[in-house]
């Protein structure tokens, strides 16, 4: 992956009558990057993708592909491609005819089209005889691969995906997640991927851009965004989390070791710790940050166990431990602890616009 941006979004605004769906957003996408765009329903993901692929026009701002401004270029002339959520394959035609369709539109000669289709079948790990198989004889996963092969047929610079796996069952989704990641590596193309699923974004992408109400709340590598969210919104969006209000370095009910207390002197904000970073302390065992409570509920999650422990005047604490570290069920008094290094302090003010 190169550091040079292949795509630059500059102060992009989209208004529908008096409603602003995108608020002057900026983003640089690196050449060869896998960027996932996630956000709650209505945050503007589809609106953004529609502008990027040319299905709609921005109200203000510009979109650049390398050094070429493309927001005024019609969709069919943009060297990008979109893989739709609904596959839009021709069900009664063959796999070969479907893959070759964009090439036929571009008047590529039949022999050349077929050679490219066979090459793409191999790339997508489909056997060559699938060339003559009809789409309605293919499984869901095979259809997804054909759709991908078709998207790659004319060698687009960037592939856009709008929730391509959302309609598939869990196992197939997991398989295709791995295949997509692998395909990204093998092709070296730039992938921009919209999803509701944080898990998909975490597994596949180099960076995640979190959208909220028409702006980017944070853009960073998955591990960074998970461990060091810039706002409570991102912290909560990125999975289960414990949030403690800190005022002048103090959180009611939490005990800090002298070293940990030193880290938070005079600081105000939200102290965050993920459930898997909290442990149950044995009698006499210490931790940077410790607190007491009584188990309210216990849930088995396969190899792990999750607990909720109520706190006065605040949301309950969630703790997730390996089964071998399980404690008693509801009513069990516990002391919980965590390392200061596993905690992250979110500064008081929310960050209105993430830097791309």
- Round to whole Å and give the CA distance between 43 and 83: 20
Give 16 or 299: the residue with its C-beta nearer to ligand ATP: 16
Torsion 349-350-351-352 (CA) sign = negative
d(CA 166, CA 345): 34
Q: Which is nearer to ligand ATP, 25 or 273 (CB)?
A: 25
Among the residue ranges 3-11, 14-22, 65-73, 221-229, the one whose residues contact ligand ATP (CB under 6 A): 14-22
Distance in Å, CB of 22 to ligand ATP, minimum: 8
The distance in angstroms from the start CA to the end CA of the chain is 17
Q: How far is the C-alpha of 36 from the C-alpha of 59, rounded, in Å?
A: 24
Mark 156-175 with x for binding to ligand ATP (rule: CB under 6 A) and - for no binding. --------------------
Distance of CA 197 to the CA centre of its chain: 6
Within 10 angstroms of residue 119's Cβ, the number of other Cβ atoms is 14
* Cβ nearer to ligand ATP, comparing 3 with 18: 18
Chosen residue from 16, 90, 106, 323 binding ligand ATP by CB under 6 A: 16
Run of H or E including 246: strand 242-246
Q: Measured from the CB atom, is 152 or 210 closer to ligand ATP?
A: 210
Instruction: For ligand ATP, give the closer residue by CB, 43 or 231.
Output: 43
Both tokens of 10, joined, read 């500059």
Distance CA 161, CA 142 (A): 17
Q: Which of residues 179-218 bind ligand ATP (CB under 6 A)?
A: 196
The footprint of ligand ATP on this chain (CB under 6 A) covers a number of residues equal to 12
Least CB distance to ligand ATP at residue 101 (A):
26
112 Rama class: left (phi>0) / alpha (psi -120 to 50) / beta: alpha
Q: In the bound complex, what is the minimum distance in angstroms from residue 296's beta carbon to ligand ATP?
A: 33
Per-residue mark of binding to ligand ATP, 277-316 (x: CB under 6 A):
----------------------------------------
H/E stretch holding 21:
strand 19-30
Region 25-84 residues binding ligand ATP, contact defined as CB under 6 A: 39, 41-47
Choice from 7, 9, 12, 21 touching ligand ATP (CB under 6 A): 21
Give me the least distance between CB of 217 and ligand ATP, in Å please: 13
**CB atoms closer than 10 angstroms to residue 163:** 18
Nearer to ligand ATP, 145 or 173 (CB): 173
Pick 166 or 341: Cβ nearer ligand ATP = 166
Residues 6 or more apart whose CB falls under 8 angstroms from that of 264 comprise 246, 249, 256, 271, 345
Please list every residue from 78 through 117 that binds ligand ATP, using CB under 6 A. Answer: none
Least distance from ligand ATP to the Cβ atom of residue 20, Å: 9
Q: Residue 141: CB partners within 8 Å, gap ≥ 6? A: 168, 172, 175, 176
Binding site for ligand ATP (CB under 6 A): 16, 19, 21, 39, 41-47, 196
């Amino acid at each position: 992956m190169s550091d040079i941006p292949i795509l630059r979004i500059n102060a992009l605004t989209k208004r529908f009558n008096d409603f602003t769906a995108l608020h002057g957003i900026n983003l640089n996408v690196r050449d060869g990057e896998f960027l996932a765009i996630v956000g709650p329903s209505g945050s503007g993901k589809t609106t953004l993708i529609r502008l990027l692929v040319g299905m709609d026009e921005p109200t203000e701002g510009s979109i650049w592909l390398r050094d070429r401004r493309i927001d005024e270029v019609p969709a069919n002339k943009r060297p990008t491609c979109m893989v739709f959520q609904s596959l839009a394959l021709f069900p009664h035609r063959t796999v070969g005819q479907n893959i070759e369709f964009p090439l036929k539109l571009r008047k590529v000669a039949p022999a050349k089209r077929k050679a490219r289709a066979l090459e793409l079948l191999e790339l997508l790990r489909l056997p060559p005889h699938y060339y003559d198989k009809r789409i309605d004889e293919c499984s869901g996963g095979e259809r997804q691969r054909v759709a991908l092969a078709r998207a790659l047929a004319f060698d687009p610079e960037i592939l856009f995906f709008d929730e391509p796996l959302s309609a598939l069952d869990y196992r197939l989704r997991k398989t295709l997640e791995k295949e997509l990641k692998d395909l990204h590596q093998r092709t070296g193309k730039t992938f921009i991927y919209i999803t509701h699923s944080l898990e998909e974004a975490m597994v596949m992408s180099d960076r995640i851009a979190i959208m909220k109400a028409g702006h980017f709340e944070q853009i960073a590598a998955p591990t960074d965004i998970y461990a060091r969210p810039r706002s409570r919104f991102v912290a909560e969006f990125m999975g289960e989390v414990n949030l403690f209000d800190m005022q002048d370095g103090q959180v009611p009910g939490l005990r800090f070791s002298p070293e940990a207390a030193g880290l938070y002197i005079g600081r105000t904000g939200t102290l965050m710790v993920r459930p898997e970073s909290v442990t149950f302390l044995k009698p006499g065992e210490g931790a940077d940050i410790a607190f007491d409570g009584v188990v309210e509920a216990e849930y088995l999650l396969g190899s792990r166990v999750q607990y909720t422990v109520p706190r006065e005047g605040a949301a309950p604490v969630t703790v997730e431990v390996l089964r071998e570290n399980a404690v008693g069920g509801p009513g069990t008094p516990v002391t919980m602890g965590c390392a200061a290094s596993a905690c992250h302090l979110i500064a008081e003010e929310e960050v209105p616009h993430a830097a791309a």
